[in-house]
Amino acid sequence: MPGELLPLSIDAGKQVLLRTWLITFWLPALLIWVLQRLGCISSVELYERRQRPLPLLIAAMAFGGAALHVGQLYQASSLAIMLAGVGLSVLLTLIISFFWKISAHGMGMGGAIGLFGALLLHARLPLAQAWLWLLLAVLLAAAVGWARLRLQAHTPAQVLAGLALGTGVSVFVCLYAWPAVVS
């Protein structure tokens, strides 16, 4: 599996992962911090549904940009497809957020569950290893969901909807888009 994700040398693979991390984490974090400093949002936690669209758009564009960057510059098409899938999940979260507050944390954890579930179905990992990663993703999703509820940041329905969205998009991407690239 690692060779499928990054068909590059170790040094080039590290460079891809570093650039991806900068584009998908630090760039959105910096821009969201700037939005807070400018008074466009009251908190980086984005508790207010009406304040979520611009930060979610920034995140969706960051993941889409990272997918293009990784796919074109490094020909790491499997990683590019996974990044595009995350971008799609964030974009759907953005659209839903115009009407309802869905859990973006739940969406992210659902994406991990979907990824490892699809890897298990595709036999891309040894069976025991795939089950271990899937179990870990489910346990982490439960912990994150519980934390979101405990913080009163979301209702149970919002957390479950986020989990369902992330899982659904991830499974779709892994089962339909990814096989076309790695087969």
- Residue-wise pLDDT for 26-57, tens only, equals 999 999 999 999 999 999 988 899 999 999 99
- With cut-offs at 50, 70 and 90, classify the pLDDT of residue 8: low
CA 56, 57, 61, 67 torsion-angle sign: positive
CA distance 79 to 113: 17
pTM of the model: 0.86
Q: Encode 142-153: b = buried (16+ Cβ within 10 Å), e = exposed.
A: eebbeebeeeeb
pLDDT for 7: 56
Identity at 156, one-letter amino acid code: P
Q: Are 36 and 53 in contact (CB under 8 A)?
A: no
Query: For residues 154 and 106, is the Cβ–Cβ distance under 8 A?
Result: yes
Question: Does residue 182 carry a pLDDT above 70?
Answer: no
Q: How far apart are CA 116 and CA 127, in angstroms?
A: 11
- The pLDDT of 8-29, averaged and rounded, is 87
For the cut 70, the answer to whether the pLDDT of residue 181 exceeds it is: no
- The per-residue pLDDT for range 61-113, each reduced to its tens digit, is 999 999 999 888 877 688 888 899 999 999 999 999 999 999 999 999 999 99
Output the pLDDT for position 10: 72
3 state SS of 132: helix
